Amino acid sequence: MPRNGRRRTHNKKAIAIQAMMDLESTMLGNQDTTILNSASSLILRIGKKHGIRKSGYLGLTICRKCKKALIPGRNSRLRIRSKSLKISCSECMSVRTLGPSFGRD
């Protein structure tokens, strides 16, 4: 493979972010638990590799403990309390709090 000197290091992170967004939309449009869980582990892996920290809440989240995709009403419970979101995982019972500044950056 010839290397034509095009600098792409700058683009790598952007591609990774795009890939994460694509995975997220796949997850939102998918009901298959196997796909959901493999997509969530991919998102975590991409995020770790490129140092991308997700901010905000896009309708789904990933349990930090059991690494499963949390869909409200399916395997997680979502509570809103004083501008922060509390998401509890029904698989391992861990609770994650988002906010209060989510959605602002």
Q: With b meaning 16 or more CB within 10 Å and e meaning fewer, what string describes 31-51?
A: eeeeebbebbeebeebbeeee
Residue with tokens 């602002």: 104
The least CB distance from residue 39 to Zn ion, in Å, is 16
The least CB distance from residue 95 to Zn ion, in Å, is 10
Q: Are 43 and 24 in contact (CB under 8 A)?
A: yes
To the nearest 10°, report the CA torsion of 30, 81, 17, 44: -70
The least CB distance from residue 104 to Zn ion, in Å, is 26
* Residue 69 binding Zn ion, by CB under 5 A: no
Q: Which of 66, 77, 96, 102 binds Zn ion (CB under 5 A)?
A: 66
Q: Which of 23, 27, 85, 89 binds Zn ion (CB under 5 A)?
A: 89
Q: Pattern of binders to Zn ion over 35-64, x per CB under 5 A?
A: ----------------------------x-
Q: Are 20 and 47 in contact (CB under 8 A)?
A: yes
Q: Contact positions toward Zn ion, by CB under 5 A?
A: 63, 65-66, 89, 91-92
